Structure 1
Amino acid sequence: MRSIWTGAIGFGLVTIPIKLYSAVQGSELDLDMLDKKDHARIHFKRVNENTEREVPWENIVKGYNYNGKYVVLDDKDFAAASPEKTQRIELFQFCKESEIDSIYYETPYFLEPDKSGSKPYALLRSALEDAEMAGIGSFVMRNKEHLVVLKPYKNMLIAQQIRFQEEVREPEGLKLPSAKTGVTAAETRMALALIKQMTGTFDIAAYKDTYSAALMKVIENKAKGKKLPEPKLRVVHKQTTDLMEQLKASLGGGAASKTAKKKKAS
């Protein structure tokens, strides 16, 4: 595993040297884009719009269009905007993690201490566990500021990236029903019964990316020249527009009973 950022955690006057690692990886299949005619791979090139010639990476710089004229920025300029944030995850608040709305959550990162930071790292980890708190901080990586929640996870500390408030859009223009639009008391009781029937202890290990596995089977069959059957959606029960009938069917032999069977099987 290779670190993607090196710096330190700022905890009051305590400095904890750390390395940051990506904690997630995609489960989807790696598909290449091909030319339909000869199946040659498609490459994207960085082309100068004036000369239409390809530009090598070492000749590419970043710039901001300021009043119609580009201001070119280099690494020193990015660091000068906030030298501290390019080198430190500065913790400026502690709170209960439950206070943070889930809509703000993004990417998680593993944090590994340097040898000199092992003791303060362990101290912060145990203090957060005992206090049942999370630390809020920010840092700059790849020329962008990230807001993070620092919290214990298993035997380590992780930094869970969260969005800034201005990055979450307001749901303007959406046509949404009011809280109780046309919902009867009987339908509510039936829905609650369905929820109760499908309630269980959450176990993330029980859920797999089954689509990627199924797609891999399609790929293997096509590679062997096997003719694939036409896909058909299986109708579980006759569809009805009556909400109460849908709820009754769900409770009697639909989604709820399927979930129960899966739990017993596992």
Structure 2
Amino acid sequence: MHTIWKGSISFGLVNIPIKLHAATEDRDVKLRNLHRDCHTPIKYEKVCPSCQVEIKQEEMVKGYEISKGKFVVIGQDELAALREEIEDKSVEIVDFIKIEEIDPIYFDKSYFLSPNEGGKKAYSLLRSALRESNKTGLAKISIRSKEQLAVIRVFKEAILMETIHFPDEVRKVEDVPNVTSESSISKKELDTALLLIDQLTTVFDPEKYHDEYRSKLLDLIHSKESGATVVTSKETATTNVTDLMAALQASIDSTKPKRKKRTTKKATKVQ
């Protein structure tokens, strides 16, 4: 597994040398844009619209737009100085909390932590302490010039770090249009919805769920590659139910287990 960062975890006076590994991966199927006539990949050039010339990387500077068309220019040396101030290659656990106290909206990316040289015992100590206390470490870390909050918890036999958003990065729910606390649903509608939820409730098994679009896209790519004929299956017809109660009842009926029909034999009269 590729190492993307090396540093240490500290809590109190304990310091653990660690390596950081991405816990998830992007499995999207990448499609290139091609010229329709000759199938040549399209080239994207960085062009200055004012000077009408292609710009090289060394000719670029960073800028923050303070108003339309007006920028504050920031030099690469200034950015480098800021990075040096915050990139101390350490994950400092500042508090211990319960994971249930964090709403999932705050979670961002997940990383596996592995012990670096000389850190196995301290790594095991932190893992055992987190398990026994049923607590999660709240830490600060700087990755790729961005300071972030993170939670440190145990996942199976590894220590997992999940970066979380700062509060000001989560938009206010009050700004969401057309959302109101008022409700006009009836008790019957609520009871039917609760029955549907109860019938669909199960134990979470991640292996049950798959990216169907990606699978179909890969099948299409492989069939075209081998020259096979692509056959499109007919989708199951859906009923256009507009009544709320009818939609709930139809959903409940569709989730009920199908019963086998019993066959009854007529008794034969003995003469």
Band the TM-score falls in, shorter-chain normalisation: 0.7 to 0.9
Q: SS where residue 115 of structure 1 aligns? A: coil
1:168 aligns with 2:170: yes
User: 1:167 is matched by which residue type in structure 2?
Assistant: E
User: 1:70 is matched by which residue type in structure 2?
Assistant: V
Alpha-carbon separation, structure 2, partners of 1:137 and 1:60: 38
Q: CA deviation at 1:234?
A: 2.9
Name the CA shift for 1:42/1:189 in 2 (closer, same or farther; >3 Å): same
Query: What does the per-residue CA deviation read over 1:221-249, in whole Å, with 9 as the maximum and x for residues that have no partner?
Result: 344263655x765323x322111111111
User: 1:104 is matched by which residue type in structure 2?
Assistant: Y
Alpha-carbon separation, structure 2, partners of 1:62 and 1:106: 29
Name the CA shift for 1:45/1:121 in 2 (closer, same or farther; >3 Å): farther
Contact 1:48 1:55 in 2 (8 A): no
Identical pairs, percent: 32
Alpha-carbon separation, structure 2, partners of 1:112 and 1:94: 20
Q: CA deviation at 1:61?
A: 6.5
Aligned residue in 2 for 1:129 = 131
Alpha-carbon separation, structure 2, partners of 1:212 and 1:220: 12
Unmatched 5+ residue regions in structure 1?
A: 262-266
Contact 2:10 2:93 in 1 (8 A): yes
Contact 1:79 1:86 in 2 (8 A): no
Q: SS where residue 123 of structure 2 aligns? A: helix
User: 1:250 is matched by which residue type in structure 2?
Assistant: S
**Which aligned pairs between 1:1-266 and structure 2 lie closer than 5 A?**
1-47=1-47, 50=51, 52-56=53-57, 59=58, 63-65=62-64, 68-74=71-77, 76-82=80-86, 85-171=87-173, 172-180=175-183, 182-223=184-225, 224=227, 226=229, 229=232, 233-236=235-238, 238-252=239-253, 254=254, 256-257=255-256
Alpha-carbon separation, structure 1, partners of 2:74 and 2:214: 44
User: 2:161 is matched by which residue type in structure 1?
Assistant: A
Q: CA deviation at 1:60?
A: 6.3
Alpha-carbon separation, structure 2, partners of 1:16 and 1:43: 46
User: What's the RMSD between the two structures over aligned residues?
Assistant: 2.4
Unmatched 5+ residue regions in structure 2?
A: 259-271
Higher Rg: 2
Q: CA deviation at 1:14?
A: 1.4
Aligned residue in 1 for 2:267 = none
Q: CA deviation at 1:101?
A: 0.6
Contact 2:48 2:55 in 1 (8 A): yes
Calculate the TM-score normalised by the size of structure 1.
Answer: 0.84
Name the CA shift for 1:62/1:116 in 2 (closer, same or farther; >3 Å): farther
Alpha-carbon separation, structure 1, partners of 2:65 and 2:104: 36
